[in-house]
A and B are shown apart, each in its own frame.
Chain A
Amino acid sequence: MIRQKQIKDPNYSGPPVEHAAISIDTVETDKSARYFFEFRNYSYTAPTTTAPADAYRKPSQFAHFKNVTVSNIDFNRQVHDIPRAGSFIRIMQSNLLLDDVRASNISSKANGAFLQVLDTLDKGAKVEIVPNATSISITNSIFSGCTSNVGGVIYYENKEPKNAQSMTISNVQFMSNYANSSAVMYIEAAN
C-alpha cells in the first residue's frame, strides 16, 4: 500500500522561501520504487549562458519534510534480474530540511537507506555545478532499524569543491541501525 499526501505547508515557520516548501505529513508504504523522493537542483533555477554564477541561484529554496513517519520499506527490488536498490530520499545540489521525522526499518542494498546525497545523480553526467547549492538540516528526529551497504541511515558523497556544503544534525537519535560499513552515516565531502 502506498498512501502519500504532499501539500504546501501553511504553517511553515522556517527560513523565508521564495517558493513553497514541501511538506509531507503522511507517508504509509510497504513497498516503493527505487527512490521515494528525489530532488535535483532544488536550491536554484536553471542557469542561462549569459547569467553570472550567482544570478540564478536561489538559496532560499528548501525541500521541507516535517512530521513524517515512515517505516517498513524494502528498497531491494530486482528489475529484470538487475538490483535496483535505492533510498527513501536522494538529493543533488539541493537544500533539505528534515524535522520531526520518524524513520524505522528501511532496508536497502544500496548506500544510505534513508538519505543519499550526491554531487551528480548519474555517473558521467555532464552537470553544471553551481556554488553553495547543498545544505541539510535534520532536527528532532529518530532513525532506527535502517539497513544498507554503506551508511545505514545517511550516505553523503559530495566532492565538488565549488559546491559549498553544510549539514546540521540536532536532537536526533540513531538506534539499532546496520550497515556493512558505517552503520549510521558515511560522509565524504569537499568542504
Chain B
Amino acid sequence: MAENEAGTDNSMASISNNGDKPVVFDGVQVSKGKARTGTNSLLLQGTSAVMTNMRFSDNFATIGASTIKFEGAYPPEYTGTQPSLTITNSTFESSQYNTLGLKQIFGAYLHISYSAKAKSTDYFGPKIMV
C-alpha cells in the first residue's frame, strides 16, 4: 500500500472484530500513508492481530500514532479472550509521530518479538509484553 490518504484518521484501514480469531497480516508494505488531521495508518479496535514480515515506512499522522493504534474494547471484568497484537520480523521507519499507540487498554497486551529501525515508539497501558 502506498500514498493512501485519509481526511481524518486511518490512511490504511480500520478493523473492528468482536470475534476471537486474529486478523492475520503477512508481508504487507505500507508506505507514505497520510492521516491528514488525525492518527494512524491502521486502527485495531477490540481486535487481535498477528503481523509478520511487515514494513511501515514514511507514514504521517498529525496527532497520536502514525502507524498502528491498538484499542482494547473490553472492561477489566470481561473474562473472555482479550485482544492482543503480535508483531514479528517487521520494520517501522521514518514515520512522523509515535509509531505505535495504545489506548483504552483493559488487559489487552502488545507483543513485539522483533522490530527493527523503529525511530519512535510510545507504549502506554498495562500488561504490555515486549
A residues neighboring B (CB under 8 Å): 151-152, 159, 161, 173-191
Contacts and interface: CB of A to CB of B under 8 A. Distances in A.
A13 B1 CA distance: 28
Contacts of B2: 173-176
A84 to B, nearest CB: 22
Q: Secondary structure at chain B's binding surface: helix, strand, loop or mixed?
A: loop
A173 B28 CA distance: 9
Interface residues of B, number: 23
B18 A190 contact: yes
B11 A189 contact: no
A142 B94 CA distance: 25
Q: 4 nearest interchain CB pairs?
A: A191-B19, A183-B4, A180-B7, A182-B10
B7 A186 contact: no
A7 B1 CA distance: 32
Contacts of B16: 187-189
A182 B13 contact: yes
Contact of A183 (B15, B18, B33): B33
A181 B1 CA distance: 16
Contacts, number: 80
Interface string B94-121: 0000000000000000000000000000
Contacts of A183: 4-6, 10-12, 33
A173 B6 contact: no
14 contacts: A174-B2, A175-B1, A177-B4, A177-B5, A179-B6, A181-B9, A182-B9, A182-B12, A183-B33, A184-B13, A186-B13, A187-B15, A187-B16, A188-B15
Contacts of B20: 191
| Most chain A C-beta atoms within 10 Å of own C-beta, residue among B8, B11, B13 | B13
A152 B9 CA distance: 12
